[in-house]
Homo-oligomer: A and B are copies of this chain.
């Protein structure tokens, strides 16, 4: 129950152990195509260029930026946590003129402030679900601000857990991670790129490994299968199976399960007298942040000792706070196969045992 990785679906573990196929084997290519089609369903998009980047979520972030940002481009970035900060760093390395729009950690960004931040941005970039704080930022209306701006959204902790509507929200570039609400081990970064954004891809990005011009010739559905790099076969088996489990359940049913688990957890924490960290109305169900009840921990435990006790006594991982909130906030994940009422109940019962009455 940390901020990711979650527990993977059992189908995923089974799939990852299947015999290896080569990355150009027709059976593997068919499985990759089907994986990409499942990703389109989950992203709610028809974007042809939709596939898993061969790296973790941060590789997805880098792929999104390096392929469309040119030196000197104005890139507006919303910053209300670690991953917004990371976007600034990545964009600056592309030579962008980064325009930061900040909100206090724990509070949501103001979409209008993002739209108003620059008269003609090349890119407006926002983290949909800030894993560092448990806050959901609104991204649905960002496309309304500037006709020529690309909207770039980090869906690492949102995809599969809360509504994501790539086409409905006219998002141009979005990436995710496998180890959050998709219920798959970490290692891949699902990415989707609109046709509009494809038209803006730079000729030779600074990264060879993440160069979408070349990768599209391997993953693209146009018949051509030019080798770029060896696809991580077993990880793609796992993603394929995880998306299968998710779609067998139903995407909206998965959102509902994440929501009900998150609501139960957040209500239970408040019942224990704890104070939630994230702004009401913008709380993620899949990632709950809560102030550490330092004064009430039994036997003078500090927060790290309390997390260790949860891990050692109950087998539950809970994440610590980041940045200025290290030691002051816990981050509790309820994602993928971990988002089950029994896990919520066990954690609440375990926490109760760690607190003075």
A207 lies within 8 A of B16 (CB): no
Collect the chain B residues with CB atoms within 8 Å of residue A56's CB: 54, 229-232
Flag whether A72 is at the interface (Cβ < 8 A): no
- The answer to whether A209 and B62 touch (CB under 8 A), given A17-B16, A20-B185, A187-B54, is yes
Q: Say how far A233's CB is from chain B's closest CB, in angstroms.
A: 6
Which stretch, A3-11, A40-48, A118-126, A135-143, touches the partner chain B? Answer: A3-11
Q: Is the CB of A22 within 8 A of B7?
A: no
- A167 interfacial contact with B, CB 8 Å: no
Known: A230-B57, A232-B186. A5 touches B23 (CB 8 A): yes
B residues less than 8 Å from A231 (CB atoms): 56, 186
- Alpha-carbon distance between A187 and B178 when the two chains are bound, in angstroms: 14
Q: In the complex, what's the smallest C-beta–C-beta distance from A237 to chain B, in angstroms?
A: 9
In the complex formed, the residue of B with least CB distance to A208 is B90
A234 on the B face (CB < 8 A): yes
Residues from chain B with Cβ under 8 Å of A59 in the complex: 54-55, 209, 229
Residues of A1-31 whose CB lies within 8 A of B: 2, 4-8, 13-14, 16-17, 19-25
Of the candidates B6, B13, B61, B230, the one whose C-beta lies within 8 Å of that of A177 is B230
Closest 4 CB pairs of A and B: A187-B232, A185-B234, A58-B229, A206-B206
What are 11 A-B pairs at a CB distance below 8 A? A7-B19, A14-B17, A16-B17, A54-B187, A58-B208, A93-B205, A179-B230, A185-B235, A187-B235, A227-B322, A234-B235
